[in-house]
């Protein structure tokens, strides 16, 4: 099985989570991790499992305005660093070019502040909806990984992401057999 983990990240948290998810998936599959702008159609077409994640902005997936706002925040706050791959197209744009999946599995995750989804929203729900629209079989429930109010991953989230990656790989293996 071949897996691709696609991420959009503004301050590096979603990028870090994607890397940890890949560690878990690698127990059962050859895994590649790429920022959204490198998730070209040929790479996606060659994968059996696609895991897609992004930050939660304004109750859902980011958009150009929210990404620009994050860049402005980083410019004004020395404690915030933009992920090297932060600017450019986001997941919303990327989904416009994703081909129909056929018989392939997928999973969706996000990063967000640890509070009720009534207050924060959950980008992974929109990601999963778009994956299904493109014909992917979403093999596990969406998952959120939490950041604190200073935009750092909460303690234990990296380990939880690795464990979730293993769960995704196991579910994809079972779904394909």
Give 10-residue mean pLDDT values along the chain (177 residues): 96 96 96 96 94 92 84 85 84 86 89 88 95 95 94 94 98 83
Q: What is the pLDDT of residue 85?
A: 82
CA–CA distances in Å: residue 76 to residues 73, 80, 147, 158: 5, 8, 20, 27
- Residue spans of the domains in the chain: they are 2-176
Q: What is the pLDDT of residue 177?
A: 62
Level-2 CATH architecture, domain 2-176: 3-Layer(aba) Sandwich (3.40)
Kindly calculate the radius of gyration of the chain based on its CA atoms and give it in whole angstroms.
15
Q: What is the pLDDT of residue 6?
A: 98
How far apart, in whole angstroms, are the C-alpha atoms of residue 15 and residue 161? Answer: 11
């Amino acid at each position: 099985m071949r897996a691709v983990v696609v991420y959009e990240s503004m301050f590096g948290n979603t990028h870090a989570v994607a890397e940890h998810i890949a560690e878990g998936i690698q127990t059962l599959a050859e895994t590649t991790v790429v920022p959204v702008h490198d998730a070209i159609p040929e790479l996606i077409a060659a994968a059996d499992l696609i895991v897609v994640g992004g930050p939660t902005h304004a109750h859902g997936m980011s958009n150009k305005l929210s990404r620009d706002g994050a860049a402005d925040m980083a410019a004004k706050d020395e404690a915030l660093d933009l992920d090297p791959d932060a600017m450019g197209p986001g997941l919303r744009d990327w989904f416009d070019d994703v081909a129909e999946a056929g018989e392939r599995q997928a999973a969706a995750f996000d990063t967000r502040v640890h509070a009720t989804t009534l207050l924060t929203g959950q980008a992974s729900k929109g990601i999963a909806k778009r994956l299904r629209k493109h014909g992917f079989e979403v093999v596990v429930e969406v998952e959120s990984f939490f950041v604190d109010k200073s935009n750092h991953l909460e303690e234990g989230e990296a380990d939880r992401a690795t464990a979730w990656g293993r769960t995704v790989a196991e579910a994809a293996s079972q779904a394909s057999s």
